[in-house]
Structure formats: C-alpha cells, structure tokens
Amino acid sequence: MSLTLDYTNCLAESIGATHGLTKSEVDTLVAKFPKHHENIEELRSNGESSFFDLPYQDLGDLKALLKKHQGKWDNLVLVATGGSAIAPLSLLHALGHNFYNDLDPKARKSAPRVFVAHNPDPGYLTDLLDVIDVKKTLFQVIGRSGASCECVATYMWLQELVKKKGGKGSLSAQVVFTTDREKGPLAEIAKQEKLDLLNVPANLAGRFGVIGNTGLFLAGMCGFDVAALLAGAGDMDKRTRHGDPLKNPAYMHSLVHYLLTRKRRKTIHATFAFSNRLHGVAEWYAHLCSVSLGKMLNRKGKAVHVGPTPVSALGSFDQHGQMQLYAEGPFDKVVTFLTVKDHGAKVTAPVAYAKVDQAGFLGGIDFAKLLDMGHVGAEQAITASGRPNMAIVLDRLDEQSIGGLYYLLQLSTVMSAELYGIDPFDQPGVEHGKHALYAQLGRPGFEDLAKRLADYRGLPRRTC
C-alpha cells in the first residue's frame, strides 16, 4: 500500500466535539454512502467524464508521437491556461528534479527544458523568447475545447515566429495540439496546418486530465514512466471501487471534508505539502477544488452557492507564516498534510558549533527527520488547539505513488460534488469570463454582453 489517509485528528475523540466530528455524525453519513457510490458508478457508466477511464486508456497515439519527438528538442513550451496548464506542470514538479530546467542536458537524458506560456502577459512572453531558441523548441498547445482566447492568441503569435525562423514545414514539425479532435478552433487549425493532434475527449476537463494526454505527453517527453503512472491510478481505482468510506481513502477524504464544512463551518481547506515536489500537487488540487466544487446551482437548478476555499502551503517554509493563522486564527479551517516517508535523498547536518546553544544540538540531524519533525510539530500544535487536520502519507515519490495520489484526489472531489448535489465537471463561472472576452473582442453573438461591459467601463470610479 503506497498511500494511507490518517483522519484521526478530525474526530471529536481527538479534538473535542466543538470542532471535531462525532462517531454518530460519521456513521450516519457512512450509512448513506452505498447510494452515493451507486451514483458515482452511474456517472462512470454513462460517460459523464472520461477521467474514470484514464488508468486503462490506449496509449498508441501518444507513444507514436513521443517516438517522433523524444530526444530531439532543447525545449518544450506548453501553451495552455487554467487546468490544462497547472495539471502537467504539477506532474513535472512531482516527478522531476527540483531544478529540472537547470540540469545539464546529459543529466536530463536529452529531455527538453519545460516552459509554460499560461498567461498572455506581454512581458512574460517576450522574456520567454530570451531563454529559448524557437528553432529548437517544440510547442504543445493544450485546451480541451480549444476556445480559450488567451491560448489561441498565444498560439497565433508563436506560430508566426516558428514560420519565420524555421521556414517551410517548420510549423507541422514543431507544434502538437492537444484538444478535442472533433470540434473547436484548435481542431480546425490542426486540419488546416496538418498538425499532429492528441485527442482530449469532450467530457474531460483539463483539471481532470493530468493522467490523460494533457499531462502524459509532457511526462513522456521528460522521461517519466507513463505506464507506471497509469498503473498507480489503476491500483487506486480498484482500491476505491466500493461504497464503504471506512475502507476507501478517497471517499473518507471527501466525507470528512464535507461534514466539517457543513457541520462545523470549516470552509477553508488547506493542503500543507511537506515536500517541495508535492507542493505542485497541492496547487493543482486547489485549482481542482475551486472549479469543481465552487457552484451557484445544484443539479436541480436551485441556488446553493457552495464550495470550500482551497489553500496550498509548503512545509516547513509556511510554518513560518501561514501556520500562525492555522494555529491561532479563526476556527474555519481543516488542514490536510501531504507527507512522504522516503524522500529519495539523504542530507545530514555535520557536527559543528557545539558551544553555540541554538546550533550545536542540530549536529548529525538527518534532514528528512527534520522535515518530519516539523510536520509532527505543526500537526500537534493545531490538534492541541482543537483544529481538525488529516494526513495523506506516501511511501515514496515515484510514478506509481503519484498516479494513485492524483486519482484519489480527483475521485474525492467527484464524491464531494455528489454530497453537495452539484456537477463537478462544468464551470459556468469560468465560462462567463470567456464570454466577457468574446464580447469585448467583438465576436458575433455576444453583442448584449458587450453593451453591458461597455456600460460597466463607463461607471464612475472612486480612487485615491
């Protein structure tokens, strides 16, 4: 078992019933989970989201494209935004060297440096050109619908540069699209330009696609074991394919967070990663929760305005900052510690400065133990002050463990949506922002919104 969930400190027996869950509250909801599990299985069978199928996907197209590009480029630039950007980036952080881009090419085994064009900031994009040679760069343009203005506009800017610097045929050689092959502007452009395309099913949002083509192309290009990633996700799928939360870490993770939100008003959910490599997973999870669980309407169309506010933190760095708020601030938070038993490296402080009271005792300390002591100290401190917290503990940081972790957090999010009675796969609030861009850019069909936005821009402002 490469992953365990410890929710002891969320229970009344550990922190008291004012902020902890009673056995009766947990048992009452556990008894309802067989029906909730049936509903999740129905989502799986009716194809509402392809994320359930990702551990068992056919990798033929991906392998063919990787064979074409592996070891041939100095740089890989992801052109994406939102979940389509943060998902693959979190995968790189979880499995790659902490200073991946700074490694000598030989140390990277000829894998490319990775950059992400995730925001249409002109300063950021022009600075990007200062650190890459366009002729030696592969561009992966990612977007399920392919309709994000920022992503399409960035591609349009880059494709002109590629054509100018690379000449005839350079675009089809240097650009890979990852999008819905059936419809959307990127699909149309791919056909027009004869570009390679990796499919993203219409029912797979970018935030749920970390172990789909959205993330796996980067994983393969960087030399990670794609098969092991999927195997880890598949193992977690099998482990969680039943309706008993007491034996299902994904369901218990959602049950505890849901009850603490509903019964104890713990509306801020902090994921505290005690590993630099897991911090990207914590940031991706914050994105996943925000978009999947922050909803105005439930599935029946009733206004409910639900959703936790997710926060990510890094231990021990944020123990010297956010920890103050968690230990003594408002009682509105639940903290999930992300920890790992084997960091895959060993660092020890030498015996030195024996006569310096606040330094000498550190001689000989193993840094993995130092980090773990920090976690234990943080956990004990907030537990002692009656604040709920849990821990997800990985045995090690490898493809199999990380694949299982991603799957667990995604399934937990889907079950949380089931408990709230909302749709985890749509994003109407995000779509409004897209429509506002369409309207301001003069896209036909958005004239009424364009007028409202023009009126809004004309309102008097109070400034100082």
In a domain, 60, yes or no: no
pLDDT at 1: 59
For residues 449 and 434, the answer to whether their CB atoms sit within 8 Å is no
pLDDT at 166: 84
Which residues, in sequence order, are CB contacts of 183 under 8 Å at separation 6+?
A: 202
278 with 307, same domain: the answer is yes
pLDDT at 168: 80
At 114, the amino acid letter reads V
Would you state the structure tokens that stand for residue 27, as one six-digit string?
Answer: 């048992």
pLDDT at 26: 99
For residues 315 and 273, the answer to whether their CB atoms sit within 8 Å is yes
In a domain, 82, yes or no: yes
Of 174, 190, 222, the residue at which a domain comes to its end is: 222
363 with 409, same domain: the answer is yes
For residues 220 and 83, the answer to whether their CB atoms sit within 8 Å is no
216 with 235, same domain: the answer is no
- Walk along the chain (464 residues) and give the pLDDT tens digit of each residue: 589 999 999 999 999 999 999 999 999 999 999 999 999 999 999 999 999 999 999 999 999 999 999 999 999 999 999 999 999 999 999 999 999 999 999 999 999 999 999 999 999 999 999 999 999 999 999 999 988 999 999 999 999 999 999 878 899 999 999 999 999 999 999 999 999 999 999 999 999 999 999 999 999 999 999 999 999 999 999 999 999 999 999 999 999 999 999 999 999 999 999 999 999 999 999 999 999 999 999 999 999 999 999 999 999 999 999 999 999 999 999 999 999 999 999 999 999 999 999 999 999 999 999 999 999 999 999 999 999 999 999 999 999 999 999 999 999 999 999 999 999 999 999 988 899 999 999 999 999 999 999 999 999 999 99
397 with 353, same domain: the answer is yes
Would you state the structure tokens that stand for residue 52, as one six-digit string?
Answer: 């359930």
381 with 276, same domain: the answer is yes
Q: Is the peptide bond before 316 cis (omega within 30 degrees of 0)?
A: yes
259 with 358, same domain: the answer is yes
Based on C-alpha coordinates, what's the Rg of the chain? 24
In a domain, 103, yes or no: yes
CATH of the domain at 269: 3.40.50.10490
Domain that holds residue 102: 71-222
In a domain, 49, yes or no: no
Q: How many domains does the chain have?
A: 2
In a domain, 426, yes or no: no
77 with 207, same domain: the answer is yes
In a domain, 62, yes or no: no
For residues 337 and 376, the answer to whether their CB atoms sit within 8 Å is no
320 with 201, same domain: the answer is no
Which residues, in sequence order, are CB contacts of 11 under 8 Å at separation 6+?
A: 20, 21, 22, 23, 26
The Cβ of residue 386 has, within 10 Å, a number of other Cβ atoms equal to: 15
Q: Is the peptide bond before 385 cis (omega within 30 degrees of 0)?
A: no
118 with 36, same domain: the answer is no
